[in-house]
Amino acid sequence: MEHGALVLIEIGALLLGIGLLGRFASWLGISAIPLILLGGLAFGKGGFFPFRQGEEFISIGADIGVILLLVMLGLEFNARELVSNLRRSKFAGLIDMVLNAVPGALIALVLGWGPVAAVALAGITWASSSGVIAKLLQDLGRLANRETPTVLSILVIEDLAMAFYLPILTALLVGLDIGRATLSVGVAVACVVAILYVALRHGTFVSRLIWSKDPEVLLLTVLGVTLLVAGLASQANVSAAVGAFLVGIAISGPAAEHAERLLAPLRDLFAAVFFLFFGLSTDPADLVPVLVPAAVLAVVTMATKIATGWFAARKAGIAEAGRWRAGFALTPRGEFSIVIAGLAVGAGVEPSLAALATAYVLITIVVGPLLTRIPDSVAFARWAGRRQRARRARQRAAPQA
């Protein structure tokens, strides 16, 4: 069979399989993400029927999926809302780093992997997955919830922090001197500031420049600008997700409304490809030796993420149920964790780090969406309501005492 025909057949079969898994997930009333990941494991390296064709398409599609998820999130908000939420959540961002980076560093030191591996594993456990969480918020219809801006603020703080962290980690891995490491961090920060400045000060001009009554022209323009900025941000050691999110923030008015509608089908397609790619690129046999430490790390750091989200939502004045929704939503890790593990292993730090990171991310991505649905249950709503009423009663009683 010709190579081109085989590629089309395999890609078509995979997309059809994603569609069937999505339908099954809808019937079960759960997110399709865990099923797509497990399907990828079944047809990836070491799976039952390894996928051998079209790897480049799936890989690029996965990158585009994350970018589209984040630009669509950005379209939901404006630049001033972003800055306001960042200011309000800055202390929560610091708590987030301490609670979630420290367990990873400690596990690496306990396993005897050394200080550089500890810095790498700290980043793996620190950063939540913007792509997975964006998809979850969309699937669960929570984009308009009061706690969602708080969740997004923490994600943006993490992504911006990666602009500092990744150059520093790279410098440690390759042994850069202080001067070159400082220059790398400076360039990354300058890029973030420049994009944020344009979004804040010239968002109206950007929107007018992008706007077109022709749907085809508007789609191509928004998609082109988003991919261009994301690529430039990535080249400058800034997360492509940050670049895409800030592009969405910079677009407002009719341009944002129409772009959101036009991009939605593409986002759904490539987001599914992103989760599929993650499963396809994982060999289940590599995960078995590290399942225990990965599971321990996942339990600890999912708990610390829940605490982070709960605290941040409380500071923002969100009610009890919203605090728990924010905490559970932050539990999945993803793209950053895998990128960091790849950098560390590529530099020869610790071969087992990649397998541990993959097992850890898979556990959080499979369990996280299930946990995220807990606050929607009737029993949980009653429990949260009782806690909220009890708290208000204590507050009323305090002045009298």
DSSP codes of every residue in 309-358: HHHHHHHTT--HHHHHHHHHHT----HHHHHHHHHHHHTTS-THHHHHHH
Which pLDDT score, from 0 to 100, does residue 399 have? 60
CA distance 401 to 395: 10
149: closest CA among 76, 254, 240, 68?
Answer: 76
Token pair in block for residue 398: 């305090």
107: closest CA among 301, 293, 292, 337?
Answer: 293
Domains delineated in the chain: 3-391 (1.20.1530.20)
CA 308 from chain centre, in angstroms, equals 16
- Crossing angle for the helix pair 215-235 and 240-250, nearest 10 degrees? 140
Mean pLDDT by 10 residues, the chain (401 residues): 74 85 79 77 71 74 83 74 70 87 91 88 89 82 86 82 74 68 70 74 82 90 91 74 78 85 88 78 79 92 94 87 90 80 74 83 86 83 75 68 53
Say if pTM beats, i.e. exceeds, 0.75: no
204: closest CA among 250, 135, 163, 248?
Answer: 250
Q: Evaluate whether 58 touches 276 at the Cβ level (below 8 Å).
A: yes
- Could you read off the pLDDT of 248-279 as tens digits, one per residue? 878 878 888 888 889 988 888 888 887 787 77
* DSSP-based three-state secondary structure for 176: coil
CA distance 30 to 139: 9
CA distance 36 to 201: 41
Side chain identity at 39, as an amino acid letter?
A: G
Q: Evaluate whether 132 touches 365 at the Cβ level (below 8 Å).
A: yes
Side chain identity at 127, as an amino acid letter?
A: A
- Could you read off the pLDDT of 357-401 as tens digits, one per residue? 888 988 898 888 888 888 888 888 787 777 777 777 776 776 655
CA distance 158 to 151: 11
Token pair in block for residue 257: 């409304």
